[in-house]
């Protein structure tokens, strides 16, 4: 049985680790430097039903990389390259699955890890870190897996244990399409909620009607052009967006939380992607939100 190594023991990484562990899978955490020399308690995962599940796991650091059998990367997008660079001893045969939100890292990861099987996971589970080693699973979602390079295509067998543990996991031959699908929702909800310091549900208030409409339109046009014949209709995108807003109404988006807590956001990989691919499509709202959030981040 393959051991899953979780790089990025934050909210989502811990929730996925917990679900794998619950199904009897072997799981390990590859920790960041700040954890070295500290006591590592068992991970306390609060499941969707509110039950506490304690997960015992052997903490690992980059010098243990040569033993890693399958690496799942759950760091924020801006930490992915730095975290991978630390794993100099990672075997070239070890598959690496990137789960970060946003896009724009693919080429750099391919350059950095040219021999490893590379995959992407697009995951819509919800997770919240309440404190170090205490994580809450806040929403059940889907997981899509796809290859980033030829070697990655040999790892479709990972689906079975992932589907058994996560409730859903399917293979996609066009994983970038799934990434853009998710990115489109994030590119509307995240910067607007972060900029206005509001919960997702507050976006339906009349004062946000016009800006929400305009941003939805900008993001739709950019993503629809990239998706070509696979593009959803604008109404379908609106309905999907509305559904996420309703289902996560009481939640604060990850970007709102990052900005409100003085952390770096993933704006470069979400709104930054929209700006980069606008290619003549006017995107004034996206540009203004991007500039303002970058200014506040600094
Ligand atoms: N939370 C959610 O519901 C969802 C999140 N996502 C995406 O998943 C990704 C992770 O999100 P989330 O779990 O919320 O983020 P968190 O900030 O909670 O977790 C990220 C973790 O990465 C760790 N990390 C950073 N650098 C390194 C390193 N060099 N080596 C090892 N670990 C490192 C951090 O460690 P430490 O701070 O301890 O040093 C932190 O624990 C993001 O891209 C997010 O957008 C996608 C879907 C849902
Ligand atoms: C779907 C959404 C917007 C939920 O808050 C999210 O993925 C995020 O906050 O990053």
Neighbour tally for 233: CB within 10 Å: 10
Per-residue model confidence as pLDDT tens for the chain (298 residues): 889 999 999 999 999 999 999 999 999 999 988 888 776 678 899 999 999 998 877 789 999 999 999 999 999 999 999 999 999 999 999 999 999 999 999 999 999 999 999 999 999 999 999 988 899 999 999 999 999 999 999 999 999 999 999 999 999 999 999 999 999 999 999 999 999 999 999 999 999 999 999 999 999 999 999 999 999 999 999 999 999 999 999 999 999 999 999 999 999 999 999 999 999 999 999 999 999 999 999 7
Phi, psi of 55 (to 5 degrees): -120, 120
pTM: 0.96
- Of 173, 206, 241, the one marking the end of a domain is 173
- Of 116, 139, 173, the one marking the end of a domain is 173
Please indicate, yes or no, whether residues 259 and 273 belong to a single structural domain of this protein: yes
Total count of domains within the chain? 2
Radius of gyration of the CA atoms of the chain, in A: 19
Instruction: Report which protein residue has its CA nearest ligand 1's atom 16.
Output: 10
- The domain of 215 spans 177-297
Residues 162 and 25: their CA atoms lie apart, in Å, by: 10
How close is the Cα of 284 to the center of ligand 2, in Å?
22
Please indicate, yes or no, whether residues 71 and 193 belong to a single structural domain of this protein: no
- Of 141, 173, 205, the one marking the end of a domain is 173
> How far is residue 287 CA from its own chain's centroid?
22
Q: Is 254 in the pocket of ligand 2 (CB under 6 A)?
A: yes
For residue 185, what is the domain's CATH number? 1.10.1040.10
Please indicate, yes or no, whether residues 193 and 72 belong to a single structural domain of this protein: no
Residues 11 and 105: their CA atoms lie apart, in Å, by: 21
> What DSSP designation does 236 have?
H
For residue 27, what is the domain's CATH number? 3.40.50.720
Helix axes 234-247, 175-196, angle to 10 degrees: 60
Please indicate, yes or no, whether residues 153 and 230 belong to a single structural domain of this protein: no
Q: Tell me the CA end-to-end span of the chain in Å, nearest whole number.
A: 45
Please indicate, yes or no, whether residues 190 and 293 belong to a single structural domain of this protein: yes
Please indicate, yes or no, whether residues 167 and 184 belong to a single structural domain of this protein: no
Please indicate, yes or no, whether residues 8 and 117 belong to a single structural domain of this protein: yes
How close is the Cα of 66 to the center of ligand 2, in Å?
34
b/e string for 178-213 if b means 16 or more Cβ within 10 A?
Answer: bbbbbbbbbbbbbbbbbbbebbbbbbeeeebeebbe
């Amino acid at each position: 049985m393959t051991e899953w190594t979780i790089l990025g023991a934050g909210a989502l990484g811990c929730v996925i680790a917990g679900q794998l562990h619950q199904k009897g899978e072997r799981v390990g955490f590859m920790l960041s430097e700040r954890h070295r020399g500290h006591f590592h308690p068992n991970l306390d995962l609060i499941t969707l039903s509110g039950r506490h599940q304690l997960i015992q796991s052997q903490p690992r650091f980059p010098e243990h990389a040569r033993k890693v059998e399958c690496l799942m990367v759950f760091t924020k997008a801006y930490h992915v390259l730095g975290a991978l660079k630390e794993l100099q001893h990672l075997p070239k045969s070890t598959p690496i699955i990137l789960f970060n939100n946003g896009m724009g890292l693919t080429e750099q990861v391919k350059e950095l890890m040219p021999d490893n099987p590379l995959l992407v996971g697009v995951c819509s589970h919800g997770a919240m870190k309440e404190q170090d080693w205490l994580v809450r699973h806040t929403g059940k979602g889907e997981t899509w897996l796809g290859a980033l390079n030829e070697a990655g295509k040999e790892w479709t067998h990972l689906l079975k244990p992932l589907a058994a543990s996560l409730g859903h996991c399917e293979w996609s031959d066009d994983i970038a399409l799934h990434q853009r699908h998710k990115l489109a929702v994030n590119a509307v909800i995240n910067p607007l909620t972060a900029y206005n310091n509001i919960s997702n549900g507050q976006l339906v208030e009349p004062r946000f009607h016009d800006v929400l409409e305009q941003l939805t339109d900008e993001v739709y046009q950019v993503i629809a052009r990239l998706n070509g014949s696979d593009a959803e209709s604008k109404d379908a995108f609106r309905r999907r967006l509305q559904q996420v807003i309703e289902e996560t109404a009481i939640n604060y988006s990850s970007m709102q939380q990052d900005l409100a807590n003085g952390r770096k956001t993933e704006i470069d990989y979400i709104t930054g992607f929209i700006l980069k691919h606008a290619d003549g499509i006017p995107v004034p709202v996206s540009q203004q939100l991007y500039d303002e959030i970058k200014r506040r981040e600094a």
